[in-house]
Structure 1
Amino acid sequence: MGVAGVVFVHGVRTSRTMWRAQVEALTAAGRRAVAIDLPGHGRRAGEPFTLDGAVDAVADAVDRFEGPVLVVGLSLGGYVSITYAARYPKNVVGLVAAACSTRPARIPMAAWMLAARAIGALPDAGAGLNRFMAERTLTRAAALDVAAGGFALDVMDDVLREMSAATPLADLARISAPVWLVNGRFDHFRTEERRFLAACHDGRLVVVRGAKHLVNLDAPVAFGRVLLDALVRVEASDPAQAPGPYPAHDPR
């Protein structure tokens, strides 16, 4: 089974540049890869964010390739990627959904909205806080990557409103392609990872030791191994000959 390319979908408030290390590594290995900006982020700053518009952004990127792709999303991008794969299953040969193993339930989303509005009310709309957190929690290279496309400081109301209607468990149940659920050991969005795994027809759970929410930035080597494993498996000429699912790492 061939894979025409890899499409990367970023997390909330970040942009395509959070995937620079992964895109560069795949390109150097002769793979076709593209990272996109969702509405309201990066080059599309100022546009309203909607879930349908985000799915359309993924669809536009997939259309650049002549064949099915591996879709890789993190956090917001993970939820969007799950939705895309459920709506367009024939276009997806595999899905890596990172840092998105918790349902966007109404009460937690309301709490996040209150926190986001409080941050947005700061004199700089939270720009300094974003920079501070990136510099304190990431390596210098990762902090530069995540900041390179700018931080979307005014999207949280739109994102939280739209994502409260997302149905990731039902969507995962509609996806027949293999799915990799990848979470950092200390990610606060892994509270329902076993339930998410059970919803998959062909799912694998990987928990990366030492990593937090931004698992691709915290542990780029480990995340790269997951991508390579996914590519090997989906490119197997005979899926029956591909290795079986591997267990979660450090699932505590």
Structure 2
Amino acid sequence: MGIPVVLVHGLRSSRTMWRSQVEALDRAGRTALAIDLPGHGARRGELFTQEAAVDAVRRGIDEVGGRALVVGLSLGGYTGIAHAARHPAQVAGLVAAACSTVPWTPVLQGWSVAAKGICRLPDSGAALNERLAHRMLPPAGAVDVAAGGYALDVVVDVLREARGADPLGDLARVQVPVWLVNGRYDHFRTHERRFLRACQDGRLVVVPGATHLVSLVAPERFTRVVLEAADLVDAGARESATVS
């Protein structure tokens, strides 16, 4: 059966953004679970905190047997890093995508001001969000990311919580294999070399032609990375069992 895979979505989206990967993992015979973070998807209206987000990952892994390969994108990647540092026994490997930038308070404050302004629009920014999704994503990706609805009112809470995040410090505590996956044109890859150096066992994958939402823009390439990561984790587990 192999190691289960738990997938953690990005900001404003939901578990439905992982439809392509879940289907591919199912075909490969792997258990796959995509979760909703607080304030997103089926959990819209809940308060987002980093502690609650990490707990959502913890409960998702418990649901698939207590240990998994964790795959996260953007907010989900940062959450996966934080979870791996706090619950190491649950994590067999980590794919952290589109999250190789250190949160910087002045930038977060600027984004927060912009987010509050967008929330004051008559539709809370729904039309703007929809236009951007259709402009930036292939048709199938736009459909998948929209299927779970957009969490338009959670951005300010997420940005507030990001000020206390320490992804480099957390990565330094992660002892399992880590894959940093970034689109070639991702604006969140500015510190990817620092992130790679922080890893005890890390590797960097840059997907040509892809942007920030790499799993939606290049789903086949991204899925291949996840399947290869799962296979490597399984091989490591078999090797450890043989040595023992």
Assess if the C-alpha contact under 8 Å between 1:3 and 1:70 holds in 2: no
Are the equivalent residues in 2 in contact too, given 1:4–1:67 (CA < 8 A)?
A: no
| Percent of aligned pairs with the same amino acid | 62
Aligned equivalents of 2:96 and 2:82: distance in 1? 11
If the length of structure 1 is used for normalisation, what is the TM-score? 0.92
Kindly indicate whether the alpha-carbon contact (under 8 Å) linking 1:4 and 1:65 is maintained by their aligned counterparts in 2: no
CA drift of 1:105 comes to 1.4
User: Partner of 1:247 in structure 2?
Assistant: none
Q: Residue type of the partner of 2:127?
A: G
**What's the secondary structure of 1:71's corresponding residue?**
strand
1:163 alignment counterpart? 162
Indicate the SS of the match to 1:117.
helix
State the Cα distance separating 1:66 from its structure 2 match.
Answer: 2.3
Find the counterpart in structure 1 of residue 46 from structure 2.
47
Question: Unpaired segments of 5 or more residues in structure 2?
Answer: none
**Contact 1:173-1:201 at 8 Å conserved across structures:** yes
Post-superposition shift, 1:27?
0.9
Q: CA deviation at 1:127?
A: 0.4
Contact 1:102 1:189 in 2 (8 A): yes
Give the match's secondary structure for 1:86.
Answer: helix
Alpha-carbon distance in 2 for matches of 1:194, 1:158 = 28
- Kindly provide the CA deviation profile for residues 182-225 of structure 1, in whole angstroms up to 9, marking residues without a partner as x: 00011110000000000000000001011000000000111011
Write 1 or 2 for the structure with the bigger share of helix.
2
Q: Retained in 1: the 8 A contact 2:112–2:159?
A: yes
- Separation (CA, whole Å) in 2 of partners of 1:65 and 1:4: 9
TM-score by length of 2: 0.95
Q: Equivalents in 2 of 1:65, 1:9: separation in Å?
A: 14
Question: Offset at 1:34?
Answer: 0.5
Structure 1 residue ranges, 4+ long, deviating more than 6 angstroms after superposition:
none
Alpha-carbon distance, 1:4 to partner = 3.5
CA contact (8 A) 2:3 2:234 kept: no
Q: Distance in 2 between matches of 1:66 and 1:135?
A: 37
* Paired positions, count: 239
RMSD: 1.3
Shift of 1:179: 0.2
Contact 2:168–2:195 (Cα < 8 Å) also in 1: yes
